[in-house]
Amino acid sequence: MRIFVPPIKCQGIKTKLVSWISESLDFDYQGRWIEPFFGSGVVGFNMRPKNAIFADTNPHLINFYKDIQTEKITPGLVREFLEFEGNNLQSKGSDCYYEIRTRFNDQFESLDFLFLNRACFNGMIRFNKNGKFNVPFCKKENRFAKAYITKIVNQVDNIRTLILNHDWTFLVQDFHDTVKLAKEGDLLYCDPPYIDRHVDYYNGWSEAEEKELFTALSNTKANFILSTWHSNKYRENEYIKTLWSNFYIVTKNHFYHVGASERNRNEMLEALVCNFSPRIISSTLQEDEQLVLLEPRINYENKKAI
């Protein structure tokens, strides 16, 4: 499976897990693919559904891809913009970055958002309580080398081709409203910020929201897949037991690399929660991976508990 990497980077991006999500569940659906937590879009983009609704509370993510859809942003414009501002960055250093950050927080232009996302510290997307982007500079004045710009342009071009050849709707709205749009035959893919783990997101994620999502997905007539974390060597996700254990849960060991040191190779058990019995395909697993299906504690019929 060829994976298209989106041009906007997000914390917790699922690039290395897309194939697993697709192949381990072997799901099919007759209706729309619906994402209430669009984020980077890497999962939905690579599933390439004919008809989809991509929604998020972060207007800057959604507007970026709407601008590609309306061709306000093209690969050529991206190259021209990044070459121009990349030269400014090399000559002016961090002053250039903070000038563009100030401009973005005043005008909210998508190309400025792309620049900040690729030049800020650790590719973070973080806003203050007033909705202003506040991530500092990554301290790399030569960030936008020719090869790096070409890489970003190619990413924009790949996603542009997908967007223009599919019936996709991009919405700025809360997950409650998006889940309500799902009907029988649709597939909801939910990738909220991981409870007790992710803090770098447009909005935070609380226990109350986790419970609200649980209620919404428990009542939907659509099939759903929820991406979350199961455990690591230090602790377990308590909500797997207290909320999600009545659904099917597929888990897989996944390693995260932070820095070059071997001791920074941290293992976490990823989890996919779904309200349908998955047809697991394990032939693509690597030697250091495992795939486990946890059966629900109660039986389900027509997606409702007995």
Residue 209 tokens, joined: 């929201």
The predicted pLDDT at position 50 comes to 95
Q: Report the distance separating Cα 176 and Cα 211, nearest Å.
A: 12
Q: What is the pLDDT of residue 107?
A: 98
Antiparallel, parallel or unpaired: β 51-56 and 167-172: parallel
Domain ranges of the chain: 15-57+173-305, 67-162
Question: Tokens 């995260």, residue?
Answer: 256
Which uninterrupted H or E stretch holds 192?
none
* Cβ partners under 8 Å of residue 85, min gap 6: 96, 100, 115, 144
Structure tokens at 184: 């029988």
Q: Are 168 and 52 in contact (CB under 8 A)?
A: yes
Q: Sign (positive/negative) of CA torsion 278, 281, 286, 291?
A: positive
Q: What pTM value is reported for the model?
A: 0.87
- Helix ranges (H only) for the chain are 18-25, 42-47, 59-69, 75-92, 94-107, 110-119, 146-164, 175-181, 207-219, 238-242
DSSP strand pairing (265-274 vs 223-232) = antiparallel
Asked, colleague to colleague, whether 15-57+173-305 and 67-162 share their fold, the answer is no
- The CATH number that domain 15-57+173-305 falls under is 3.40.50.150
If one counts every other C-beta atom within 10 angstroms of the C-beta of residue 23, the result is 16
User: Span 67-162: which CATH code?
Assistant: 1.10.1020.10
Q: Going residue by residue through the chain (306 aa), what tens digit of pLDDT does each one get?
A: 789 999 999 877 788 889 888 877 777 788 999 999 999 999 999 999 999 999 999 999 999 999 999 999 999 999 999 999 999 999 999 999 999 999 999 999 999 999 999 999 988 899 999 999 999 999 999 999 999 999 999 999 999 999 999 999 999 999 999 999 999 999 999 999 877 654 444 556 789 999 999 999 999 999 999 999 888 778 888 999 899 999 999 888 865 544 444 444 467 788 999 998 877 655 555 554 555 667 775 443 344 433
Coil vs helix vs strand at 264: helix
